[in-house]
Structure 1
Amino acid sequence: MKRHNLAIALSALLVSGTASAELFLSEHIEGSSNNKALEIFNPGDTAVDLSTYTIEIYSNGGTSASQTIQLSGTLDANGIYVVAHPSANADILALANQTGNLYYNGDDAIVFKNGADVVDAMGQVGVDPGTAWESNGVSMQNQTIRRKSTVTAGDTDVTDEFLPDVEWDAYPIDDISNLGSHNGFGSTPPDPEPEPEPEPSPELGACGDPATFIHQVQGSSLSESGAASPLVDEVVTVEAVVTGVYTDGAKPLNGFFLQEEDADNDADPNSSEGIFVYLPEGTAPTVGQVVRLQGEVAEYYNATQLSFVSEIVVCSEGATVTPAVLELPLSSRDEFERFEGMLVASANPLVVTGNETIAQYGEFWVADERIMSPTEIAEPGDAANAYAALKDSRQFLIDDAQGGASPAVVPFPPGGLSAENTLRLGTEITNAQGIIHYGFSEYRLLPTVDLQFVDVNPRTAEPDAAAQGDVRVAVFNVLNLFNGDGQGGGFPTERGATNVMEYERQLPKAVAAIIGLGADVVGVTEIENDGNGENSMIAQLTAALNAEGSGEWAFVDFGGRVGTDAITNQIVYRTDRVEATGTGVFTTAEPFDYGNRPPVAQTFKDLVNEDEFTFVVTHLRSKGSCGSATGGDADADDGQGCWNATRVAAVEKMQEWLAGDPTGRIVADVLVMGDMNAYTMEDPIAAMVAGGFSNLKADFADGATTHTYVYQNESGSLDHAFASAELTEKVVAAQAWHINADEPEVFDYNLEYKENGLEETYYAPDQYRSSDHDPVIVAFTTVANDPTDEGDGDADVEEPPAEEEEHENIDHATTSSSFPLWLVLSGLFLGLVRRRV
């Protein structure tokens, strides 16, 4: 944005904030993972309609909102309203009045508005503070901050300097002890039992007497948020079969489910025959009993239930109901409402599509088939959007019916989840049966039978391509592999491990993955950009590879830092398999000066046939931080996200760069691999193909899944391999090795949410969940005395001019003799542990 346009935008926003308002932000949570929440306080003496209020997020100094959350409902005088990230932990969600897209970091500005008027603001719109808004130890990053008791109104100037310590107090990360209250007002969301207690109800009557049918209580409206019972607040008598009881465990549901006998079902397919009965005290009935009871109809966070049960009479034993048939996809997500509280059985096997929160909450996602990222399989635009629209009608959660976070035992899969007993995406469940319950804004199945898991996507010790071809080349996103100061200190760093313990868990997993690939050359992305000295990350990774005794590993010397980003691209290779020729190079020409990391290139020669190829590692700009994206980079709502034009420009510039033989070797065999941050059907991939490169992974798929990444339960390929026409003829295999994307995130190196022994239960120093991306490997043959040789005896190579010989690349195989002793010892220990497992 030009300077005068920026000024106009900020002036307009500032003018809109001249009106005063009563509400203001009273608490800001920026915690671990997605634990983000905002608290709003009404200090006035009248209730406020929230339907005109919005929360706007301004990312990375942007002047237009990257996310807008529309509020709803009414906020009472001296009341509290909490908005939480939909994937925040259960304790936060239990305190939330609403969920919304709170995708903010500590350096983003937050604006609270009533219509066009600014009510309050945090941060400074149009300014990027760097890491976070921070002053005198009070920060919007990795802290909970609360408004000082002396503050009685919001900051309506979005452009004034923001010093958090002036109006805010700091508390530890993930501290939610005061969420839902401010200055003595407010409390946690009400228990399902409201006060005061209801008036005495009519007589219960005898078993068999007339009663209200459950389908009358549930009604037939199909709407997730608008399907309230037509009998809310009424006391009803029901008589039905107990289908599930959930009163045991650390944090049980404290109740049971009832369903009408088959003979009492109505003819309306949109009305549910089941309901949850909240019973926090007393003795619950058992499954199979027909019971008669009275209770008050209530809506608890959009789930219909019976509360204040006054009396339960058992009418008979051994009753059963026929499970309703659940066949996916449904016509819409709202159609799940007609199964709320009911016993159901899936008409077909279900496929595990999401396992991100399985260890944290004992839940995982299933669908009728693996859900793909829309632009992985469909053209951007209408086709991709049409596929995306089906997602919510195809998936739901399977839940262990326990509240709280990080349970000691997760019952899925059979035997309990652990690093050795995984639940991978793609696993099939052949007998899904249970009760559909609505909680934490999602529909979830509570199993009533022992689920049968079929592992149709098992772990593999190595990729098939590892045993093919003469040369194997791979690329691996190492998920922010940072080593602090390289001597055991310097943590936390800008990215990656937060302490040395986490780093010592992360490094062995990365090493296991690289060695397991069986590749001769490996490009790595998302590695720390700290040069190539003995304490650099690339040097220590190389030494750790050599400590495993799997070959003579070296790294390409690019002369120090590669670009200015915190992360970079690097190359390691086995000197007993290939030899580096020419010069290791990179380019920072626009658009590789910012966002797109500089691509690195090195030419190698196969030691057997002396056939040469040039290998390029690239990492294009991500789809995030859209606030400052304009023009062709703005999100076009076609499925490609923001910064698409920048990624396409990077592809075109990289091809232009490679056409000049930057390594000093004129080589026809060129292999480009890396994290493109673009799915298979998107423009950057099409641009690579249009430039004369073949999409190897797609060409060699042969029905196999080629995804390398999973986001919001959608599988797609961000990591790709492209070959020049000459090299394509030699390729015999190209595949993704599914060691990461399909595995539960909890198996990674992080220690968060893994107390009381879980840090060992969920960790192994192996390749599984060594990153969030799957590596990609390509195998190809080499040719001795290739007929396409350009005259020097080496296949496909023309010798550079004689004066360039002095620029021969110098490669460093860092050994333990120059490696910090603390890491050598820990590496040897972990190696012993690994070999004993």
Structure 2
Amino acid sequence: MPSKSSARLAALTVAAVCSAASTVVIASPAHADAVRIHDIQGSTRISPYAGQQVTDVAGIVTGVRTYGSSRGFWIQDPSADADPATSEGIFVFTGSTPKVAVGDSVTVSGTVSEYVPGGTSSGNQALTEITRPTITVVSSGNAVPAATVIDARSVPNAYAPAGDPAAKGSINGLTLRPTKYALDYYESLEGMNVQVANTRVVGATDPYTELWVTVKPRENASRHGGAVYGSYASQNTGRLQIQSLGKASDFPDANVGDVLTGTTTGPLDYTQFGGYTLVARELGTLEQGGLERETTRKQRRGELAVATYNVENLDPADGTFDEHAAAIVHNLQSPDILSLEEIQDNNGTKNDGTVGADQTMSKLIDAIVAAGGPRYDWRSVDPVDGEDGGQPGGNIRNVFLFNPQRVSFTDRPGGDATTATGVTKVRGKAALTVSPGRIDPTNAAWEDSRKPLVGEFVFRGRTVFVIANHFASKGGDQSLHAQYQPPTRSSETQRHLQATAVNTFVKQILDTQKNADVVTLGDINDFEFSDTVEILEGDGALWSAIKSLPRSERYSYVYQGNSQTLDQILISPSIRRGCDFEYDSVHINAEFHDQISDHDPQVLRFHP
């Protein structure tokens, strides 16, 4: 999966440079005099005054943003109307540091615009703003309008209305129903001074000084205090992103399960990477929940331990080798076979045609030994330069690590970046034509994406086929909070093709040897309940073993406050039969602010 941070930095350089660049343009020559904020906001997501000039819009300044490319301030009308669907707050985009202060009573004249964070192609909702403003400070030191309390009672359980078919599924034109839908409720408070109290953290602090909380502590709670995303209908309506108007250095380093005690108060914004966001003027105090990194148990003599771990663009220049090694040795208890995703070539993102990863792997193996682990051996297939996606120049690939003291690898020569691995029969048993090898690497399903790595291992005389995967990322999908409901998941198309290709290969093995032990694992980049995984499982050829865990523990990744499953280990019927296996999602990264990867590793132990 491409780095979230690189994608985000690229987006931030173009988003909000000027409001007009990503604005819903509604042509209108009209000029509106002395309108109120709730008139501008209206009872739908798009202002009835969009594109019009407004004059002397009155309000009290509730927050001032002096940093970034979206500088400006929020104002709120202290005299609310009787319609709960119309917000009393609005953002005034100045583009430079505003010359107002919280508590100023101001009048603003300017153009009403609908700014779409991320651009209209993102499918995101629009943020109603006043742009190109002329500002008059009437008085200072006024009381800020009382904050509207957002809590478990006020946020509806239903997430969003179905979009209007006549508008391609958009909810923009629908009248807000804030007592029925969470997205409507938040939209009815857009730009207003709001408050949450004693909220539990469900998404750790990230490098952009953001975290996620929930105002519904019982909503799909994980064992560690997160919010589990267990189906497309469980969006977790109580999630809310928190940013701060204060210094970045003052923002707390929070883990999942911590609590922001007291009150957190400020304007409600809408952002590209989180939707509705409380931009805190006053931030609660962090109370740590004592989250600790998990350690799985050691495999027994007759158990084979197979694991998967996305090490997030690991290359020799990274400073995380010792930490990854410690995680593998201590938290994962030195699994016998380890599938690694996102191993980069020997010079990382330097784009000079280098594709070998022997230096990357040697450095990791040496670090594992120094941490007290075994001296692993490894197998992989170098990609064709620039053909497998990921960071440009990085040439990420899947790699097998294995402990030669516990398991042996069956080398069958001939595997390369473009040669397809086949299945044959040797002495009545299934065997690979090349090992290590790639599955159908020239199939269009793998365009600009990592190709599956397959290998043949032997443990205590029993052959085990292992397939390492890193399916296409979810980049390009519309967000949960998009204006299109339900949102379109366009990236699924490629993953469905990839799942079909892998399932077809697994069936070839099982058709050759019905009782073959097959482990298919890696960063599937889709949920255990998704169509992708259903296709991968097929008619029983495979089964995602994370489904053996309680629902409160089924996650490997946290995104926008949702604890969800992307990394999985799927098993063939011979392994699943009799339930002679044990699965562990080892939570060491995704819930922590100081993570060394954004993925949690997964471990399977079974008796071949």
TM-score bracket, shorter-length normalisation: 0.5 to 0.7
Distance 1:217 1:626 in 2: 34
TM norm structure 1: 0.49
Check 1:534–1:456 CA distance in 2 against 1; reply closer, same or farther (3 A cut).
closer
Deviation for aligned residue 1:400: 1.0
**How far off its partner does 1:312 sit?**
1.1
- Distance in 2 separating the partners of 1:682 and 1:250: 37
Q: Secondary structure at the match of 2:588?
A: coil
Matched residue, 1:477 = 310
CA–CA distance in 2 between the matches of 1:588 and 1:775? Answer: 23
User: Among residues 737, 755, 774, which one is paired with 2:600 in the alignment?
Assistant: 774
* 3-state SS of 1:654 partner: helix
CA contact (8 A) 2:341 2:523 kept: yes
1:176-210 per-residue CA deviation (whole Å, 9 max, x = no partner) reads xxxxxxxxxxxxxxxxxxxxxxxxx9xxxxxxxxx
Measure, in 1, the Cα distance between the counterparts of 2:468 and 2:76: 57
- 1: CA distance, partners of 2:194 / 2:105: 22
Q: Is the 8 A contact 1:527 1:570 kept in 2?
A: yes
User: Residue 713 of structure 1: CA displacement?
Assistant: 5.9
2:401 corresponds, among 554, 572, 583, to 572
Match of 2:457 in 1: 603
Name the counterpart of 1:539. 362
Is the 2:311–2:341 contact (alpha carbons within 8 Å) kept by the matching residues of 1?
yes
Q: Distance in 2 between matches of 1:478 and 1:454?
A: 30
Does residue 33 of structure 1 match 2:14?
Answer: no
Question: What secondary structure sits across from 1:537 in the alignment?
Answer: helix
Q: Find the counterpart in structure 2 of residue 616 from structure 1.
A: 466
Report whether the alignment pairs 1:312 with 2:160: no
Aligned to 1:649: 501
Match of 2:12 in 1: 88
| 3-state SS of paired residue (2:407) | strand
Match of 2:537 among 674, 685, 688: 688
What amino acid is the match of 2:138?
A: E
Distance 1:674 1:592, change over 3 A: farther
Q: Distance in 1 between matches of 2:491 and 2:230?
A: 11
Contact kept, 8 Å, 1:471 with 1:519, in 2: the verdict is: no
Aligned residue for 1:20?
none
Q: 5 Å matches for 1:575-586?
A: 575-576=404-405, 578-580=406-408, 582-583=410-411, 585-586=435-436
1:198-597 pair list within 5 angstroms: 218-219=39-40, 221-226=42-47, 228=49, 233-235=54-56, 244=62, 246=64, 257-258=75-76, 260=78, 264-274=79-89, 284=101, 294-296=107-109, 299=112, 302-304=128-130, 307-312=134-139, 321=146, 323-325=148-150, 327-329=154-156, 331=181, 333-346=183-196, 349=199, 351-353=201-203, 358-360=206-208, 362-366=209-213, 368=216, 377-378=230-231, 384=232, 387=233, 396-401=240-245, 409-413=248-252, 417=253, 423-425=254-256, 429=260, 433-438=264-269, 443-453=276-286, 458-460=291-293, 462-466=294-298, 470-483=303-316, 503-515=317-329, 516-521=331-336, 522-528=338-344, 535-548=358-371, 550-556=372-378, 561=382, 566-576=395-405, 578-580=406-408, 582-583=410-411, 585-588=435-438, 590=440, 595=446, 597=451
Higher relative contact order at CA 8 Å, sep ≥6: structure 1 or structure 2? Answer: 2
Question: Could you say what secondary structure the match of 2:361 adopts?
Answer: helix
Scaled by the length of structure 2, the TM-score of the pair is 0.64
Please report how far the alpha carbon of residue 450 of structure 1 lies from its aligned counterpart in structure 2 after TM superposition. 3.7
The change in CA–CA distance for 1:724 and 1:93 in structure 2 (over 3 A counts) is: same
1:324 to partner: Cα distance: 4.3
SS in 2 for 1:463: coil
> Over aligned residues, Cα RMSD in angstroms?
4.9
Structure 1 residues 349 and 582, CA, compared in 2 at 3 Å: closer, same or farther? same
Q: CA deviation at 1:93?
A: 2.0
Distance 1:641 1:227, change over 3 A: farther
572, 586, 595: which is aligned to 1:737? Answer: 586
SS of 2:188's equivalent in the other structure is helix
- For 2:528 and 2:315, the matched residues in 1 are separated by 29
Q: 1:254 to 1:694 in 2, by over 3 A?
A: closer
- Distance in 1 separating the partners of 2:264 and 2:256: 19
CA separation of 1:657/1:540 partners in 2, compared to 1, >3 Å: closer, same or farther?
A: farther
- Offset of residue 332 of structure 1: 5.7
| Structure 2 CA distance for partners of 1:669 and 1:270, relative to 1, 3 Å | closer
Q: Percent identity?
A: 19
What secondary structure sits across from 1:339 in the alignment? coil
Q: Deviations over 1:17-61 (max 9, x none)?
A: xxxxxxxxxxxxxx953455xxxxxxxxxxxxxxxxxxxxxxxxx
How far did 1:598 drift?
3.9
The 3 A distance-change label for structure 1 pair 693 and 459 is same
Counterpart Cα distance in 2 of 1:320 and 1:537: 57
Partner of 1:810: none
User: 1:659–1:348: structure 2 CA closer, same or farther, 3 Å change rule?
Assistant: farther
Amino acid at match of 2:547: A
Checking the alignment, whether the CA contact within 8 Å between 1:215 and 1:266 is kept in structure 2 is no
Amino acid at match of 2:507: Q
Secondary structure, aligned partner of 2:54: coil
Shift of 1:698: 0.9
Match of 1:672 in 2: 520
Question: Contact between 1:736 and 1:776, CA under 8 Å: does it hold in 2?
Answer: yes
What secondary structure is seen at the aligned counterpart in 1 of 2:552? Answer: coil
Distance 1:282 1:671, change over 3 A: closer
| Matches of 1:248 and 1:341, distance apart in 2 | 16
Closer/same/farther in 2, CA of residues 376 and 410 from structure 1, 3 Å limit: same
Which letter does structure 1 place at the counterpart of 2:367? A
The letter for the 2-side match of 1:554 is Y
Letter in 2 for 1:580: S
Tell me by how many angstroms 1:376 deviates.
Answer: 7.1
Q: Which residue identity is paired with 2:186? A: F
Q: Post-superposition shift, 1:652?
A: 2.1
Inter-CA distance 535–637: structure 2 relative to 1 (3 Å threshold): closer
Question: How much does 1:425 deviate?
Answer: 4.8
Aligned-partner Cα distance in 1 for 2:43–2:249: 33
